[in-house]
Amino acid sequence: MARSMFDIMNDLQQKQTPFAVATVVDTYGSVSAKTSSKAIIDAQGRVIAGWIGGGCAESSACEQAVECIEQNKTALMEIDLNDEMLGAGMPCGGGMKVYVEPVLPEPALWIMGHGRVAEVICSMGDTLGYRVIVNDLGATWDKFPSAKQIITDDLDYSQLRPSQNDYVIIATQHKGDHESIKQALSRDAGYIALIASRKRARLVLDYLRDESFSEEEIKRVVAPSGLDLGPQTPEEIALCILSEITLLRRGGTGIRNRDKLIAENEGKDVPNIQHLEAVGN
């Protein structure tokens, strides 16, 4: 039995494989595909399933799909199949509009620790759409019901394997934080946060220097971590951490929306976090 497009998309999502869906949303003139025709395209620009027309339309959609996956942005493209010189190839006598939407793996939120702050980060992280993985000897399902995975047998932290788009939060309350950070730095995690006092954070960073980590590597450790929201409770600390992650993930400005509007109305530039980090470096 032929598998449906939805079955194939579900399998790809379960395997954490990025792909894009190209959908014909409008046609005119003489074209092969019909409105609502779909194709699933992988990160290499290959059609995995479906069909949106002949080679000229397909090649243009595949090229756009690769770009959408790389930039995590949707695109509405118009393919002119009636222009032999400037269009997509041999004239077909018509054209179409194709909506291309990337479907990327949900980023993982690795939590090292099992205290109240870790518990709240797990719950909030799940609500925000992260695939939460708790790695701690003392973690239990009754404390972390929202986790997708709990690891309790990782004495040497070898199972801490974040990818480039993942986020790691060290909240072990001094128990193995220096060792787990070493493992996190050996991977490509885009964000490594250390929840600790300033004194403890300095000790951990000095330990990394003694272990011959370069200053560039040590800069990857965010300590102190989170936005300064004046937190006083574990729930507020968790909010500070996840607010910083959202800021970095979405490229926000980090300022109040009212102040942003005032600045825009006054014609002032409002830099986002990527611009500020570039200037800082």
CA atoms lying within 13 Å on the CB side of residue 262: 5
Q: Decide if pLDDT at 105 tops 80.
A: yes
Last residue within a domain, chosen from 103, 127, 157: 103
On whether both 134 and 202 belong to a single domain, the answer is yes
Residue 261 lies in a domain: no
State the chain's mean pLDDT as an integer: 86
Same domain? For 115 and 236 the reply is yes
Residue 244 confidence class, pLDDT cut points 50, 70, 90 = very high
> Is 8 inside any structural domain?
no
Q: Are 82 and 186 in a shared domain?
A: no
- The answer as to whether 268 is a domain residue is no
| Overall average pLDDT of the 243-251 stretch | 92
The pTM score is 0.75
Task: Indicate if the pLDDT at residue 69 is higher than 70.
Answer: yes
Residue 17 identity: T
Same domain (yes/no): 139, 168: yes
DSSP for 223-261, written as a single string? SS-S--S---SHHHHHHHHHHHHHHHHHT---S-HHHHH
pLDDT given for residue 63 in this prediction: 93
- 43 — phi, psi (to 5°)? -70, -15
Q: Give the domain-ending residue among 52, 80, 103.
A: 103
Measured on CA atoms in the order 76, 82, 83, 88, is the torsion positive or negative?
positive
Question: What's the number of domains the chain is made of?
Answer: 2
Q: Do 55 and 143 belong to one domain?
A: no
Mean pLDDT: which of 14-23, 80-89, 180-189 is highest?
14-23
Q: Quick check: is 258 in a domain?
A: no
pLDDT (0 to 100) of residue 1: 53
State the residue range of the domain holding 48.
Answer: 16-103
Lowest mean pLDDT among 39-43, 138-142, 211-215: 211-215
Residue 255, domain member (yes or no): no
Q: Are residues 122 and 76 in the same domain?
A: no
Among 64, 87, 103, the domain boundary falls at 103
Among 61, 66, 71, residue whose Cα is nearest residue 22: 61
Q: Is residue 117 part of a domain?
A: yes
**pLDDT at res. 75:** 95
Q: Is the pLDDT reported for residue 111 higher than 90? A: yes
Which residue shows structure tokens 């004495």?
A: 155
HSE toward the beta carbon, residue 242, CA cutoff 13 A: 25
Rounded mean pLDDT, 183-194: 89
Residues 8-44: tens digit of each pLDDT: 999 998 888 999 999 999 988 777 788 999 999 999 9
Q: What does the DSSP assignment read for 82-134?
A: T-TTTSSSS--SEEEEEEEEEE-PPPEEEEE--SHHHHHHHHHHHHTT-EEEE
Within-domain flag for 262 = no
Judge if 117 and 98 occupy the same domain. no
Report how far residue 35's alpha carbon sits from residue 46's, in angstroms, rounded to the nearest whole number: 21
Q: In this structure, are 90 and 112 located in the same domain?
A: no
Residue 73 lies inside a defined structural domain of this protein: yes
Q: Do 162 and 180 form a contact (C-beta atoms < 8 A)?
A: no
Q: What is the mean pLDDT of residues 190-204?
A: 88
Whole-angstrom distance, CA of residue 59 vs CA of residue 46 = 9
CATH number at residue 194: 3.40.50.720
pLDDT at 277 over 80: no
Specify the higher pLDDT residue, 23 or 93. 23
pLDDT tier for residue 131 given thresholds of 50, 70 and 90: very high
Average pLDDT over residues 208-217: 89
Do 233 and 136 belong together in one domain? yes
> Which residues is 112 bridged to in the sheet?
170
pLDDT of residue 242: 96
Give one DSSP letter per residue of 191-203, joined into a string.
EEEE-S-HHHHHH
The tokens describing 55, both together, are 């080679």
Q: Which pLDDT value is given to residue 99?
A: 95
Can you give the pLDDT at residue 93? 64
Look at residue 102 and tell me whether its pLDDT is greater than 60. Answer: yes
Residue 93 sits in the same domain as residue 112: no
